[in-house]
Amino acid sequence: MIRAIRGEPLGIVYLGLVGFCFAGTTYLIPAQFPMALAAIALVGAIVFQGKRFRIGGRSGAALLLYGACVVISVPFSIWLGQSIQEMQQTLKLFVIFLVAVNVLTSRRRILWLIGTLVVLVALYPALGGVRFYLSGHLDAPGRANWRGVYGNANALALAMTVYLPFAVMFLGMRRTMRWRLIWGAVVTLFVAVVILTKSRAGFLALGLEGLLALSVSRRKAAMASALVVGGVAVAVLSSGAFKERMDTMFNTGAQRDYSAESRLIIWRTAIGIALSHPLTGAGVGTYAMANAENAPKSLGTSGGNRWKDTHENYLNIWAEIGTPGLIAFLAFLVLLLRDGWRASRRLRRDDEAYLMLRAGMVSMMAFMVMGLFNTFIDVWFIYVIAASMLSLVHLARRRSSPAAASPRASRRFGAAAAPKPLGAAGLPPGPQVG
């Protein structure tokens, strides 16, 4: 990692971002200080060193437009104090996103950051979730969770499915057998934790990732065999409670469990709230109160039954922020995937930038699928992954532009330089992660 920042004017910003990711993943240190350091150092680089400020292209602009809709919704909120607090949390996410977009100026930095995140997630939330599951320290009976943002079983499953494509990416890179075994163990751990969470949305995301891996693999027979073996292993080794919960995904009518039935009621309520507040929504962070006021009596009459989350990203945005906010957020996701696809087509299939972009696309698709059944708008690592993808898109465009042919452009952007060989763990030469 030292080689990723040595001699760089944004080195302190990068260290601050890495420190924030360490804090936000492990909860061993407060996250505010490293992010504040990164933000202040970035402002200093822009003001005193003339560093060009980037917003992440059209996708980043759409995300900032979504942020503007969040701010606009506050004066029209049905619960002003809550909306102000939620707006402050949302603005912190945009600081994280903008810092990452501006500091991830090379593939080396991006690769080191992603590799570090995958290892930290394996060592703390993943192993922590297994430990909590075995000790019975659970938020919901029989469902693994950890702490902080990973304290909910579905959120822990989100982390596993989002980072899984990158673990598979490192597994597929050229390396020694020792590192194949290590990264293979990480992949197995992530899948096992999703099973322990008993998250139906997480299981659907795993299925999507398997299908996407099969569709892009050059060795489809080997990939199909691996998926079949994995599926059989899950079917044989998973508990009866896991199988019963997965079976509820296909229940209809009176066979639905309380969780599924209540979500349908909440979703219908969310649509009604969105239609009654089409431009500004009920106010960011106020859905629980709006649901309590508008939900039918069939959801229950006590406060605990009526103050409910939407359990759906897109309906939550629509109901809280309005139609413009929903359009902006969807545009952010669509443009991110489109730009990532177009940029990856400019690269060789064995280029680490190509592999990171494709892994990032699968990761964001898993987020989009899980967002159909959960509210994960405020999860910070989604914005770090999105910023990494947009930085790779920017680098790919620089590399293919006519200006990249000049020696000056090569030195500044690393655009015309040939991809450097990877180390044994699939990371740049230097101290290995893992």
Task: List Cβ<8 Å contacts ≥24 apart for 206-211.
Answer: 206/161, 206/164, 208/365, 208/366, 208/369, 209/161, 209/164, 209/165, 209/362, 209/365, 209/366
Rg (CA), the chain: 22
At 224 the pLDDT is 81
State which amino acid sits at residue 226. A
Between CA 362 and CA 104 the distance in angstroms is 20
Structural contact between residues 350 and 173, judged by C-beta atoms closer than 8 angstroms: no
**Predicted confidence pLDDT, tens digits, the chain (434 residues):** 555 555 456 889 999 999 999 999 999 999 999 999 999 999 999 999 888 999 999 999 999 999 999 999 999 999 999 999 999 999 999 999 999 999 999 999 999 999 999 999 999 999 999 999 999 999 888 999 999 999 999 999 999 999 999 999 999 886 789 999 999 999 999 999 999 999 999 999 999 999 998 887 777 777 788 788 788 777 766 767 776 777 676 666 655 666 778 889 999 999 999 999 999 999 999 999 999 999 998 887 776 778 999 999 999 999 999 999 999 999 999 999 999 999 999 999 889 999 999 999 999 999 999 999 999 999 999 999 999 999 999 999 887 766 554 444 444 434 434 444 454 445 554 444 33
Closest Cα to residue 103, out of 173, 201, 18? 18
At 3 the pLDDT is 56
Between CA 283 and CA 78 the distance in angstroms is 6
CA 249 to chain centre: 24
At 186 the pLDDT is 96
Structural contact between residues 347 and 353, judged by C-beta atoms closer than 8 angstroms: yes
Between CA 61 and CA 40 the distance in angstroms is 22
Q: Which residues contact 365 (CB under 8 A, 6 or more apart)?
A: 208, 209, 212, 337
Structural contact between residues 322 and 69, judged by C-beta atoms closer than 8 angstroms: yes
Q: Which two tokens stand for residue 9?
A: 């004017």
* Most distant CA pair in the chain, distance: 70
The pLDDT tens digits of the residues spanning 321-354 come to 999 999 999 999 999 999 999 999 999 988 999 9
Between CA 382 and CA 387 the distance in angstroms is 9
At 233 the pLDDT is 76
Residue whose tokens read 């350091």: 37
Strand, helix or coil for residue 140: strand
At 8 the pLDDT is 58
At 417 the pLDDT is 43
